[in-house]
Amino acid sequence: MIVEAYGAHAGEKPLEPMEIIRRAPGAHDVQIDIAYCGVCHSDIHQVRSEWPGTLYPCVPGHEIVGRVSAVGAHVVDFQVDDLVGIGCIVDSCQNCEECDVGLENYCDGMVGTYNGPTPDAPGHTLGGYSQQIVVHERYVLRIRHPEAQLAAVAPLLCAGITTYSPLRHWKTGPGKKVGIVGIGGLGHIGIKLAHAMGAHVVAFTTSESKREAAKALGADEAVVSRNADEMAAHAKSFDFILNTVAAPHDLDAFVVLLKRDGAMTLVGAPATPHPSPNVMNLILKRRSIAGSAIGGIPETQEMLDFCAERGIVSDIEMIRADEINEAYERMINGDVKYRFVIDNASLTAL
Ligand code: NAP
Ligand code: ZN
């Protein structure tokens, strides 16, 4: 089926309306009419070729929510009209040590929701800045939030799981002091989740204007990371720091805030490398710097249910599809509180 979408024909070109083709649902497929799609900083990195390997046309978007409009003959868990979500994964090998334990995000054959290999035209996957998507049932998530919150649920499909998974893996909970660095789309949800898990949460921001906002999101304390005295007051005190910053910066400034055996996990994926961290800061207190990629499908469902039970959603600003280029510029300037979400109904009118 031909559907309306918004994407780019080259890295240096703005996004524009385009028509794309979606396959007819196969036996195990779920066809979803997309209601809303969140705008992740990864969309910018990818569509602008800041990361290597972007294929064009590129239709970004991997924070997808909507309603099931058709199911294949063998689909049993989903029905027409169900509220569902699609995150960053639409396929994987389904037969490796990662897929076997629900860590499809670490499968070497993971297919991303956009820019991944597929037999469908045009040979690579096209994402959620579009009216409809067709996905194998294994990668479809159930949404249990009230429908009125649907748009604000969309960012949980990437920003939510990307922060939930490392917070769980590094055992965030009561008695733990946890830092969240960068209060953007990922970081603001990271604050809400770490707070809900019972940790003492400290937000690190470069923006003085976000200091009070971070506390309103659930942080116990907020530190402006450009202020050396404020940073020094937290030396050697953190169990865990989650770093979501989308640009290269001095990692040592945060490593020295970790206790013995503390870890800082990087989820921000800047286009150019960070300056190399000082090894002595790691050695002398057995600290680690780690990385983490989104999360597997079972854990994504667990995160959605955790958020539904506690009423956790993203703080969003809704936009029309034709406002996306302006939204990207505002994100790069840190001017969003805290996630843009496209109203996909606006694609119909193009
Ligand atoms: P975002 O909404 O643009 O937020 C990034 C935040 O980082 C900004 O709001 C800002 O927070 C801080 N920041 C930006 N530039 C900075 C600079 N030059 N120096 C210091 N701080 C800066 O981005 P996002 O959607 O949250 O994504 C963040 C990063 O995570 C991106 O690189 C994205 O590609 C990556 N990501 C990774 C995964 C994964 O699986 N690992 C998944 C999704 C996204 P303050 O104003 O508070 O300083
Ligand atoms: Zn993302």
2-156+315-349: CATH topology is Quinone Oxidoreductase; Chain A, domain 1 (3.90.180)
183 lines ligand 1 (CB under 6 A): yes
Q: Where are the alpha helices (DSSP H) in 154-198?
A: 159-169, 185-196
Which pLDDT score, from 0 to 100, does residue 27 have? 98
Q: Give φ, ψ of 178 to 5 degrees.
A: -125, 130
Beta strands 177-181 and 200-205, pairing class: parallel
The answer, yes or no, to whether any atom of ligand 1 lies below 6 A from the CB of 85, is no
Among 91-95, 120-124, 185-189, 346-350, the minimum mean pLDDT is found in 346-350
Whether 296 lines ligand 1, by a CB cut-off of 6 Å, is no
pTM of the model: 0.98
- What's the whole-number mean pLDDT along residues 237-265? 98
* 288 Cα: distance to centroid of ligand 2 (angstroms): 24
331 lines ligand 1 (CB under 6 A): yes
pLDDT band at 303 (very low <50, low <70, confident <90, very high): very high
Rounded alpha-carbon distances, angstroms, from residue 323 to 103, 139, 156, 303, 340: 35, 29, 22, 30, 10
State the pLDDT at residue 254. Answer: 98
Atom of ligand 1 nearest to the CA of 40: 25
Residue-level pLDDT at 329: 98
Q: Which atom of ligand 1 is nearest to the CA of 214?
A: 47
Task: For domain 160-291, give the CATH number.
Answer: 3.40.50.720
**pLDDT digit string (tens) for 126-138?**
999 999 999 999 9
Mean pLDDT to the nearest integer, 147-162: 98
Distance from the alpha carbon of residue 43 to the mean position of ligand 2, in angstroms: 7
- On whether the CB atoms of residues 312 and 185 are closer than 8 A, the answer is no
Nearest atom in ligand 1 to the alpha carbon of residue 293 is 40
pLDDT tens digits for range 70-84? 999 999 999 999 999
Whole-number Å distance between alpha carbons of 303 and 297: 10
Domain ranges of the chain: 2-156+315-349, 160-291
The sign one gets for the Cα dihedral 86, 90, 94, 100 is negative
How large is the C-alpha radius of gyration of the chain?
20
Residue 350's pLDDT band (cuts 50, 70, 90):
low
* Protein residue closest via CA to atom 8 of ligand 1: 184
Q: Answer whether residue 220 shows pLDDT above 70.
A: yes
Query: In this structure, are strands 111-112 and 177-181 parallel, antiparallel, or unpaired?
Result: unpaired
Share of the chain above pLDDT 90, in %: 99
State the Cα–Cα distance between residues 243 and 187, nearest whole angstrom: 8
CA 186 to ligand 1 center in whole angstroms:
7
Centre of ligand 1 from the C-alpha of residue 40, in Å: 9
d(CA 199, CA 178): 6
Q: What is the mean pLDDT of residues 318-344?
A: 96
**pLDDT reported for residue 349:** 62
Predicted pLDDT at 255: 98
Residue 59's nearest CA partner among 43, 45, 36, 35 is 43
3-state secondary structure of 224: strand
Q: Would the CATH topology of 2-156+315-349 be identical to that of 160-291?
A: no
Instruction: Give the single-character DSSP code of 130.
Output: B
Residue 220 DSSP symbol: S
| Per-residue pLDDT, 150 | 98
Taking the centre of ligand 2 as the mean of its atom positions, its distance from the CA of residue 114, in whole angstroms, is: 11
